[in-house]
Structure formats: C-alpha cells, structure tokens
Amino acid sequence: IGRHGGQRTTAGFDYNGVSFGDTTVNLFAGLCAVDSLESVDSMMAALARCGIQTTRMGAYKPRTNPYEFQGLGAKCLPWVFESAGKHGIKVVAMEVTHPRHIDEINDALKQSGNATGVMLQVGTRNAQNFELLKSIGQQRAFPVLFKRGMGITLEESLNACEYVASEGNPKIVFCLRGVKTHLGDPHRNMVDFAHVPVVRRLTRMPVCVDPSHAIGRAEAPPDGLPDIFHAIGQGLIAGASMVLVDFHPHPEIALCDGPQALRLEQLGALQRYTNIVRGAY
Ligand code: PEP
C-alpha cells in the first residue's frame, strides 16, 4: 500500500478507462442492494443522464441479521452488467463476501460482453477476513475497494490492506465509512472523515468516503441539505477522491438500508455539490 514515511508519492491507478487518484473525484452512486431489474435500470439510466460512469451495486449482502434480505447473489449479476453496458457505465463497485463470488462475477462479466468493469468491495464486517483478503490479492483482474473495519484501529485496517497488496494486487482504494462507538449517536456511526488526510499521509492509496453508511439517514433539515451532503463535503475537503453513496428509485420499499438512500431526483444536485466543493479546494 506504499507506506513511505510521511511523504505521499504517486497515488492511484487506471482501470477500464477510469482514473483513480488524487486529481479526480469518482462518484459511485448506486444501489446498496439490487432488488429488481427495474431498480438497476432506473439507477443506471439516471447516472447516464448525468454523465456519470461509475456506480455501486450490492449483490452479496453481509447482513447483521440472518432473517433480513441477504441480496440476490449471482442471479442479479446479468441485470447489473447488461444494464451497465447499455448505459455506458465503466466501473461497478460490488461487495464480495466469499472467494467464489469473484468467479461468479468473472463468468457473468464474460457472458455480458465485458463492456463494464468491477471493483471488488471488502465490507467492514470482513475487514479482517484474511483468507478473503488473500484471494482478492491473488487475482489481478479487479481493483479493490477496502472498507475500514468499524471496530478496529486504523493501523489494523491498513495492515488488512497489506494482505491484499502483499499477494500481488496493489490497486486498492481505502474507504472510510464511520466507526462504532459506545456513546450512541444521532447518526448510524461516528463519521471518521478526519482520517482521510491521515491515510493519505501514511499510504499511497486513493481514499474514498461512504457518507451513507456513516450517517445512516437521508433526511435533511427543512431549510438545508441532507446530512449526507455535509459529510461528503467534509470528506472531499479532507482530500477524498471517491464517494460511495446509496440511492434508490423508491427508498421506502428498498429491501436494504432504505432510510439512508437518496432519491434519483437528488443525483444532479449531489453531482453539482460535489463539483462545487471539490472546485473550491
Ligand atoms: C455496503 O457498502 O453495502 C456495506 C454493507 O457497507 P459496510 O461494509 O461499510 O457496512
């Protein structure tokens, strides 16, 4: 992960025509969990209208409660990759929770004609699943989006990334997504975006922020922007170059994390907000 004694050297990498590094901002707006072909297609069409070529789509969901929706798994991969190809989406961030998911994704991508690419996401609950990290490091096809462990130290999360890098895959983006505290919080997690410059100082990895899982609610005060927007602003001002954010065409019926999903009508505003904040810093 390029630890280099406090002096940041060249960060990032290119993948499937998209640059991940310090000079660009990549907005990965999409579905936390794929629930229907219609949701996928509406989301991709909204992205294409805004000229956005990256998205997030959850197929394999690591839920805390085994009785809640677990994701549609391999069944929904053709919907995702065919729709991505149709709408010109270049990279889909997708969590995997088991090494066999990488093969399933590879197969589905081939069958869909390989027009899009995938960034393999390691979720916070698997931040120290070392066998998964090693498998992801051993494959070279896909870059990796690593989400910090919600209850471990930053150093432990950075070491987890070394498991990926030391197996041969250095294309890693480090994602901050909030941490758990014992204090209770008006938000779902304690927002940890002040750690963006720390990760940038200590490593060569591009840094992503996930305001949706950090904040956990899409509401806004009557006269203001959603808390999620403000968290994005914090992350970008701190130097993040990627944003992962949940959307849904109908958040009230989403099968996973509906309360934190923004509506498709908010995508343009989010894109403008992102450009303004980034342009100012
Ligand atoms: C997600 O991004 O879908 C997710 C489950 O996030 P996290 O691993 O950060 O909880």
Mean pLDDT by 10 residues, the chain (281 residues): 63 94 94 98 98 98 96 98 97 98 97 94 98 97 98 97 95 97 89 96 96 96 95 97 98 96 98 93 76
Atom from ligand 1 closest to the CA of residue 33: 3
Atom from ligand 1 closest to the CA of residue 256: 3
Mutation test residue for ligand 1: of 28, 177, 187, 228, the one with most atoms within 8 Å of CB: 177
231: left (phi over 0), alpha (psi -120 to 50) or beta: alpha
d(Cα 239, Cα 199) in Å, to the nearest integer?
A: 10
Residue whose CA lies nearest to ligand 1 atom number 8: 123
User: Is beta strand 13-15 parallel, antiparallel or unpaired with respect to 18-20?
Assistant: antiparallel
Selecting from 3.20.20.70, 3.40.50.2300, 3.20.20.220, 3.40.50.970, what CATH number does the domain 50-62+81-280 have? 3.20.20.70
Atom from ligand 1 closest to the CA of residue 147: 9
Q: Determine how many CB atoms are found less than 10 A away from the CB of residue 119.
A: 27
Atom from ligand 1 closest to the CA of residue 212: 2
Tokens of 192: 């940890």
CA 114 – ligand 1 centroid, Å: 25
Output the CA torsion sign for 242, 115, 135, 143: negative
CA 58 – ligand 1 centroid, Å: 9
**According to the model, what pLDDT value does residue 11 have?**
76
With CA atoms as reference, report the closest residue to 243 among 193, 213, 209, 212: 209
Mutation test residue for ligand 1: of 55, 119, 129, 147, the one with most atoms within 8 Å of CB: 147
Residue whose CA lies nearest to ligand 1 atom number 10: 124
Q: Determine how many CB atoms are found less than 10 A away from the CB of residue 175.
A: 28
State the Cα torsion 53-60-173-228 to the nearest 10°. 70
**According to the model, what pLDDT value does residue 7 have?**
55
Atom from ligand 1 closest to the CA of residue 244: 2
**According to the model, what pLDDT value does residue 3 have?**
73
Three-state DSSP class for residue 118:
strand
CA 125 – ligand 1 centroid, Å: 8
